[in-house]
Chain A
Amino acid sequence: MAAGIGTAQGTSRTFQPMRLWLIAPSWLIIGFFLLIPVLVMLLFSFLTKEFRGGVIWEFSLAAYDQFLFDRGLFGDDPATLEWTYIRIFVRSIVQAAVATLLCLLIGFPTAFFIATRSPDSRSVWLFLVTVPYWVNLLIRTMSMKFLIRDNGPVNELLLALGVIDTPIAMINTDFAVQLGLFYSYLPFMVLPIYAAVERYDFSLSEAAADLYADRWTILFRVLLPVVRPGIIAGCILVFVPSLGAFLAPDLLGGAKNFMIGSLIEEQFKGNAGNWPFGAACAMILLTMVLGALIIYARQHRPAAGN
């Protein structure tokens, strides 16, 4: 029975007889209150809408039809492709991608810098980078809004320094949303990259240096391929929540920079009140996210093996 020293994950069996009782509560709670609700949501996306929220229990493809086609005001014109919602999804993907890139550009050097500190100070640096993440997302987004608005501290500082003559309009732009998303999810980029660089064997870089590779060549041709799984993990962890984000686009982007999150919210909490359509949009978002996760899992598995 003894599992011995260096117990591998899942091999100790001290609680084997009680396994079912230990695991069952988590299965029941998450199964009943998340897995089944997602299936109910799928069902709702195929029902008929009731005005001002709710559904009529009648099968209908109207939600998906509304997403893809425009049939005119009375629904009897010939169907043409409807671009409004596709455009919102594409914009969300672009915004999330830019935010991910921003996180990577700032997050990689930061993670590298932290990973090359002395072991004792690393945890302090990591702590400093992660603390803001635990501050309420709404408060963080609001602070960013306060900071970059037209007569906010950033503009006032630049005006006082004479760098600019008129305030830069940053709020309600694509940039504000990207900055907000960056601010929301940056630690998700830093942590996996840090973990990868920390495990990286720097004698590889030293060997390359001995062969007269310059340090940027070493970075891009030696280190980057090795820590790639960490970078991909970071990108996924930032991209996925950015795609469905609600607060950053809503507070920093204004009405012009609608993203998926706002579109869905509007179907349930706002004036649109179209539950099946909201459920359909959420289903499409979930499919995209699961797709990204599956691609990640496929790519990651062979790399994790060695």
Chain B
Amino acid sequence: MPDLNSVRRYPGFNLVTLLCLLILYVPLLVVMVYSFNASQSVTMWGGASLRWYHDVFYGTESAKFKAAAWNSVSIATIAAIVSTCIATAAAIGMNRSGDFKLRSFSFGLVSLPIMVPEIVTAVATLVFFSAIGFILGYNSILVAHIVFCIPFAYLPIAARLEGIEATYEEAAQDLYASHGQLLRYVLLPLLTPGILAGYLLAFIISLDDFIITNFVKGAGVETLPTAIFGSVKSGIKPNIMALSTLMLMVSILLVTLAYFLGRIGARHSKSDKGG
């Protein structure tokens, strides 16, 4: 067996990868294409048009969509800011303070929102809010989102932090920098790509959430996913496809941004290690 490359190549694996990408992208592409359909019916192709995009912004349901979009974006913005701050503090506390007894407990607690199935979190949050008399509405959605965004913000920040040598901070400490100065002038600037990536992921996760929001939203308060779900139940309408395409583009844009931030971060930490 002189061809050593053959152990890295298996016949058909490239085809499976292609199939995999097809399954992943075809449904999204089809919805994008059909969102430009001029026809009233979702099945018949009636030529290209922007009428359903017009409908999203000016049609009969536009007020509902705009209110839902405002709720979604404002909740995602606030939830991502708060959860990123908490996650940054937790990541520094857990990576820069030596070994301590409750370290793995802390890590377990921070990753708890990922490990508990969403529907269980949804039920637990709903019964808890009702037990303490927290009125369901905008604020209950916001609090729930902050909680489940924390681990998603934490992971990229902690990963970046692990890649930064403590020598920078130790040098600053030797020069009598206070902890505030350490944070402001040394650690936070180095950590920025991780924090931005964490913020973006938390933002997308909040924007995406349906199950938990559906449980803890009060009557009359909708986010984009719950508004769309309400419409999809009775059949997929063309305006929903236009709205979905817009949301899809925003998600892809943000993820691409996070990806390039991550690459910058990776390049930095590579040069930190001198290679």
Interface residues of A (CB under 8 A from B): 1-3, 5, 7, 9-23, 25-27, 29-31, 33-38, 40-41, 44, 54-55, 106-107, 109-110, 112-114, 116, 123, 125, 127-132, 134-140, 142-147, 151-153, 182-183, 186, 190, 202, 205-206, 208-210, 212, 215, 218-219, 240-241, 243-244, 246-247, 251, 260-261, 264-265, 268-269, 275, 278-279, 282, 285-286, 289-290, 293
Contact = CB atoms under 8 A, between A and B. Distances in A.
B1 A210 contact: yes
27 contacts: A1-B170, A9-B162, A10-B103, A14-B173, A22-B94, A22-B97, A26-B90, A30-B112, A33-B146, A37-B124, A55-B127, A109-B16, A113-B13, A131-B256, A132-B24, A136-B210, A140-B28, A142-B232, A145-B232, A146-B236, A147-B30, A152-B43, A205-B8, A219-B10, A241-B118, A244-B120, A282-B124
A289 B120 CA distance: 10
Contacts of A37: 121, 124-125, 127-128
B25 interface: yes
Interface stretch (B54-62, B63-71, B190-198, B243-251): B243-251
Contacts of A13: 96-98
A289 B6 contact: no
Nearest to B146: A29
A147 B27 contact: yes
B17 A289 contact: no
A138 to B, nearest CB: 5
Contacts of A268: 123, 126, 215
B128 A41 contact: yes
A138 B225 contact: yes
Interface of B: 1, 4, 6-10, 12-14, 16-17, 19-21, 23-28, 30-31, 34, 42-43, 85-87, 89-90, 92-100, 103, 106, 109-110, 112-113, 115-121, 123-128, 130-131, 143-144, 146-147, 150, 154, 162, 165-167, 169-170, 173, 179, 182, 204, 207-208, 210-211, 214-215, 225, 228-229, 232, 236, 240-241, 244, 247-248, 251-252, 254-256, 259, 263
A185 B20 CA distance: 12
Contact of B166 (A12, A125, A147, A186): A12
A87 B86 CA distance: 42
| Dominant SS among interface residues on chain B | helix
Nearest to A132: B24
Contact of B169 (A14, A36, A55, A128): A14
Contacts of B97: 13-16, 18-19, 22
B210 A14 contact: no
Nearest to A242: B117
A134 B119 contact: no
A205 B124 contact: no
A14 B89 CA distance: 13
Contacts of A127: 259
Contacts of A12: 95-96, 98, 166, 169-170
Given A5-B165, A210-B1, A265-B119, A36 B24 contact: no
Contacts of B166: 3, 7, 12, 14
Given A7-B166, A38-B116, A129-B21, A14 B182 contact: yes
A75 B211 CA distance: 33
B150 A285 contact: no
Contact of A15 (B93, B144, B210): B93
A57 to B, nearest CB: 10
Contacts of B179: 15, 17-18
A34 B147 CA distance: 7
B26 A147 contact: yes
A136 B23 contact: no
Contacts of A26: 86-87, 89-90, 106, 109-110, 150, 154
B15 to A, nearest CB: 8
Given A127-B259, A264-B123, A279-B127, A202 B89 contact: no
